[in-house]
Amino acid sequence: MDTAREQNIRSAIDAVANGATVREAAKLHGIPKSTLSDRLHGSTSKSDSKLEARRLSPAQENSVADWCLDREAAGRAPTKAEIIRRAQEVLAQVNDFTPIGHRWADRFLTRHQQVKARITRMTRKNSRARSEENLQTR
């Protein structure tokens, strides 16, 4: 996902490649000189460096998200524990058997808002149904 900031940084890098000084290019494109200098010397963006540190690749995460959406469409939204199990299965396919961290599911749901919204909606719906059942049995 290209943000306006990343596009400005790329434009500034192109300007330096075409003869502008780092200071001129940074000022022209509205980015800090230090950021431009760092990028010219090989540093990566925060989002790119975070991608490298993630256990699952974007394609693997998308397959887990698709699985969650399929489950929801079938009427059974997965729990966080089920999402973690599914992610572990995906990792096992590439011979990675190290357990996923305890906060992974929360971060996954933050990155995949469409899954989080559906899980929340289904959880509320299920808890409302259980509450109504409890009231009827009293």
What is the arithmetic mean of pLDDT over 127-132?
Answer: 64
Q: Give me the percent of the chain exceeding a pLDDT of 90.
A: 46
Select the more confidently predicted residue: 138 or 30. Answer: 30
Q: What is the pLDDT of residue 3?
A: 80
Q: What is the pTM of this model?
A: 0.56
Q: Are residues 91 and 122 in the same domain?
A: yes
Domain count, the chain: 2
Residues 67-121: tens digit of each pLDDT:
999 998 888 889 888 999 999 999 999 999 989 888 999 999 998 988 866 665 5
Whether the pLDDT of residue 51 is over 60: the answer is no
Q: Are residues 30 and 96 in the same domain?
A: no
What is the arithmetic mean of pLDDT over 17-33?
Answer: 94
User: Residue 93 half-sphere exposure, CB side, CA atoms within 13 Å?
Assistant: 10
Q: Are residues 78 and 104 in the same domain?
A: yes
Q: What is the pLDDT of residue 76?
A: 86
Q: What is the pLDDT of residue 68?
A: 93
Structural domain boundaries, residue 106: 54-137
Q: Whole-angstrom Cα distance, residue 117 to residue 103?
A: 18
Query: Helix 22-29 and helix 33-40: axis angle, to 10°?
Result: 120
Q: Are residues 40 and 59 in the same domain?
A: no
Q: Are residues 71 and 126 in the same domain?
A: yes
Q: What is the pLDDT of residue 1?
A: 46
Q: Are residues 35 and 60 in the same domain?
A: no
